[in-house]
């Protein structure tokens, strides 16, 4: 975040936001968020539901005005020239915003016309995108008949109609089945290899790991960590001891027993009955851990040494899993919707 | 800010075209646009018309009813505006529109314009059905067109009120309920289905000044459908029905267009 040297100024940053704040009544959805995305790179905005990811995207895509802060997208100021920003961006939202009663072609053609590409160019572009996204066979069917994955692809195609230099994808794979998700990832990877700057929000750590050059972890409207996937993993330490106890009531006991063996504080998850502990020393630590647990008769369902995943990063940074619905989220949604 | 006027028109046209495509694809809309107008004409003509028949009004009374049915149906047609917009908000289409470099006002303008097209279809269907049950245009073609024009203009102004309601409330269902509460009394406490002389005094006073009465009255006059023995209207709005209708239409537009657009900005930027 704070690594911008003199070379990283002006247009080499496709997205730049400073001190974004957004409140809904008493709930603070964003509490001073800074973001910087160098041109041609992918930033993964990672966080659980209600963390503020969508709010960031809506502000940068000019759909929402922040209560404080400033932002530029493709060199254009979001607050003073929203129309200018809209000419440079494509947005594909969390819920596929396609008109289900229009055909795939009609949806894209309409968007092209609204980008003022002209009648002919809009049609050509629509057909081009439908082919590119393997929707050409379904092009003239109402989108209502599409599968979830097809709708999502059509929505993404909609964001690409004007070939924008900056793209926002808000949870592009939420709700998709594994196959649809894999298809979407492939499409996104092809896209960014073409040089598009992408801001991607996701609650899937695997997705951020796979697609993003840099990851910003956001929780309760605040950035709690940022860096490359490797940097974040390093932040957690090398290996981690991961145990699952049979009796959930003895979870705290297990944690207390193991903590002295670690290189940092342990965390635990009641629902999964797991204790996570950053360690060094590999097998030696593992054996010692098992010995201690066995001595007090603590039975285990699973035990292992793992290289950290982003899931662990999240667990350690926030104290709760990425999939945990934060209570703030519920309140915020009631205010927004 | 940098948008020129032709963009606003072109964008509104694109949005309107999209809504018109939907008329034939969305079953609810198709029924609303084609079947229910037929049903209204048949039901009102034969249920109400039949009752009046016994009093000796005859086919002339059925003819009297038609303009009222037209007025009621096109005004109800305006609710499509509100429900359609609320639906677009709910489904995220408005967000997509707002992320595009299009004229923001084109969303509402396109919506209301497509509802004029919808009402034109409704009027054609109802006229054909009307002709089948014995309704006739007894004035000139130009006068008849003027009658249809007034119905469309008034309904267009109501569309903008509905656009405002559509942006104000969160779901299409609420739009329908909210607007019916207003539209039912507006269209029934009027000369749409009964002569004003049959109403009790307080209701009659309201009905005389109700623009639904004046739009009905002017269509009736322009279609040549005023029964021979009808006494001349005694109040200004019905004596100058066309002018009174236009005044209301302009007044409603002058208020509802800016208010609806302002509400659009507020409701969509949360």
d(CA B218, CA B144): 10
Q: Nearest residue of A to residue B27 by CA position?
A: A101
Is the CB of A115 less than 8 angstroms away from the CB of B93?
no
A114 lies within 8 A of chain B by CB: yes
- Which has the higher per-residue pLDDT, B13 or B178? B13
Query: How many A/B residue pairs have CB atoms within 8 Å?
Result: 78
The 10s digit of each residue's pLDDT in B147-158 is 999 999 999 999
The 10s digit of each residue's pLDDT in B249-258 is 999 999 999 9
Q: What pLDDT is attached to residue B53? A: 56
Average pLDDT, chain B: 87
Q: What pLDDT is attached to residue B5? A: 65
Which residues of chain B does A336 touch, with a Cβ-Cβ cutoff of 8 Å?
270
Q: Best of A113, A122, A125, A172 to disrupt the B interface by mutation (most B CBs within 10 Å)?
A: A113
Helix, strand, coil % in chain B, rounded to nearest 5: 80, 0, 20
Q: Nearest residue of A to residue B8 by CA position?
A: A114
Helix (H, G, I), strand (E, B) or coil at A237: coil
A221: left (phi over 0), alpha (psi -120 to 50) or beta: left
- Which has the higher per-residue pLDDT, A79 or A278? A79
Q: What pLDDT is attached to residue A325? A: 42
Is the CB of A114 less than 8 angstroms away from the CB of B14?
yes
Pick from B14, B91, B101: CB nearest A83: B101
pLDDT grade for B231, boundaries at 50, 70 and 90 = confident
A95 lies within 8 A of chain B by CB: yes
Is the CB of B10 less than 8 angstroms away from the CB of A116?
yes
B191-204: average pLDDT:
88
The 10s digit of each residue's pLDDT in A112-133 is 999 999 999 999 999 999 999 9
A300-323: average pLDDT:
73
Answer yes or no: are the C-beta atoms of A30 and A52 closer than 8 Å: yes
pLDDT at A336 over 60: no
The 10s digit of each residue's pLDDT in B28-67 is 877 877 888 888 888 888 877 666 654 555 677 788 888 9
Is the CB of B18 less than 8 angstroms away from the CB of A65?
no
Q: What pLDDT is attached to residue B124? A: 94
pLDDT grade for B4, boundaries at 50, 70 and 90 = low
Q: Nearest residue of A to residue B89 by CA position?
A: A97
Is the CB of A93 less than 8 angstroms away from the CB of B95?
yes
Q: What pLDDT is attached to residue A334? A: 34
Q: What pLDDT is attached to residue A176? A: 85
The 10s digit of each residue's pLDDT in B87-103 is 888 888 888 898 899 98
Token representation of residue A82 = 């929203």
pLDDT at A217 over 50: yes
CB half-sphere exposure, B130, CA atoms < 13 A: 23
The 10s digit of each residue's pLDDT in A15-48 is 999 999 999 888 899 999 999 999 999 999 998 8
Is the CB of A106 less than 8 angstroms away from the CB of B14?
no
Q: What pLDDT is attached to residue A333? A: 34
Residue A91 phi, psi dihedral angles, 5° rounding: -130, 130
Residues 150-189 of B with CB under 8 A from A: 170
B97 lies within 8 A of chain A by CB: yes
Q: What pLDDT is attached to residue A89? A: 94
Share of chain B above pLDDT 70, in %: 94
Is the CB of B1 less than 8 angstroms away from the CB of A83?
yes
The 10s digit of each residue's pLDDT in A163-178 is 999 999 999 988 888 8
Range list of β-strands (E), chain A: 13-24, 27-38, 42-46, 68-73, 76-77, 89-92, 166-170, 197-202, 214-219, 222-227, 239-245, 267-269, 274-279, 300-306
B207-231: average pLDDT:
90
Is the CB of A115 less than 8 angstroms away from the CB of B101?
yes
pLDDT at A5 over 80: no
Q: Looking at the predicted complex, does its ipTM rise above 0.90?
A: no
């Amino acid at each position: 975040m704070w690594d911008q040297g003199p070379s990283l100024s002006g247009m080499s940053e496709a997205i730049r936001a400073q001190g974004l704040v957004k409140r809904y009544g008493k709930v603070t959805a964003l509490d001073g968020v800074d973001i910087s995305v160098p041109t041609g790179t992918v930033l993964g905005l990672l966080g659980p539901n209600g963390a503020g990811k969508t709010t960031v995207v809506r502000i940068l895509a000019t759909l929402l005005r922040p209560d404080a802060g400033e932002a530029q997208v493709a060199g254009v100021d979001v607050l003073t020239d929203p129309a200018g920003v809209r000419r440079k961006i494509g947005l594909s939202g969390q819920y596929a915003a396609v008109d289900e009663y229009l055909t795939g072609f009609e949806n894209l053609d309409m968007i092209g016309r609204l980008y003022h590409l002209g009648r002919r160019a809009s049609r050509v572009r629509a057909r081009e995108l439908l082919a590119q996204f393997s929707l050409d066979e379904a092009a003239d069917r109402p989108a209502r008949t599409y599968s979830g994955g097809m709708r999502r692809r059509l929505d993404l195609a909609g964001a690409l109609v004007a070939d924008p230099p900056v793209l926002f994808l808000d949870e592009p794979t939420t709700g998709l089945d594994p196959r649809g998700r894999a298809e979407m990832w492939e499409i996104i990877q092809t896209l960014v290899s073409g040089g598009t700057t992408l801001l991607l929000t996701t609650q899937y750590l695997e997705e951020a790991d796979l697609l993003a050059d840099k990851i910003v972890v956001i929780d309760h409207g605040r950035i709690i960590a940022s860096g490359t996937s490797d940097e974040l993993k390093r932040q957690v330490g090398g290996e981690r001891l991961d145990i699952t106890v049979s009796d959930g009531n003895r979870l705290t006991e297990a944690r207390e027993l193991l903590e002295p063996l670690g290189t940092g504080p342990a965390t635990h998850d009641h629902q999964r009955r797991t204790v996570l502990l950053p360690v060094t020393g590999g097998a030696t630590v593992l054996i010692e851990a098992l010995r201690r647990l066995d001595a007090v008769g603590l039975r285990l369902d699973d035990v292992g040494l793992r290289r950290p995943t982003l899931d662990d990063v999240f667990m350690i940074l926030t104290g709760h899993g990425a999939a945990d619905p934060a209570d703030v989220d519920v309140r915020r949604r009631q205010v927004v919707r | 800010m940098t948008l020129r006027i032709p963009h606003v028109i072109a964008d509104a046209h694109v949005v309107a075209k999209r809504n018109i495509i939907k008329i034939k694809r969305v079953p609810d809309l198709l029924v609303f646009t084609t079947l229910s107008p037929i049903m209204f004409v048949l039901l009102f003509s034969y249920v109400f018309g039949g009752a009046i028949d016994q009093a000796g009004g005859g086919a002339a009374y059925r003819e009297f009813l038609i303009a009222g049915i037209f007025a009621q149906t096109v005004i109800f047609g305006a609710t499509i505006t509100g429900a359609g917009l609320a639906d677009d908000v709910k489904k995220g289409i408005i967000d997509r529109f707002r992320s595009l470099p299009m004229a923001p006002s084109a969303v509402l303008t396109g919506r209301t314009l497509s509802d004029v097209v919808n009402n034109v279809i409704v009027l054609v269907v109802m006229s054909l059905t009307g002709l089948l049950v014995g309704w006739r245009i007894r004035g000139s073609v130009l006068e008849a067109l003027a009658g249809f024009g007034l119905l469309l203009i008034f309904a267009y102004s109501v569309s903008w009120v509905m656009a405002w309601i559509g942006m104000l409330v969160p779901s299409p269902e609420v739009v329908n309920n909210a607007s019916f509460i207003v539209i039912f009394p507006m269209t029934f406490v009027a000369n749409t289905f009964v002569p004003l002389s049959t109403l009790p005094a307080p209701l009659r006073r309201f009905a005389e000044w109700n623009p639904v009465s004046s739009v009905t009255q002017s269509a009736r006059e322009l279609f040549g459908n005023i029964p021979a023995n009808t006494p001349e209207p005694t109040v200004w709005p019905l004596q100058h029905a066309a002018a009174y209708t236009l005044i209301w239409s302009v007044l409603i537009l002058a208020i509802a267009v800016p208010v609806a657009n302002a509400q659009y900005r507020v409701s969509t930027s949360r």
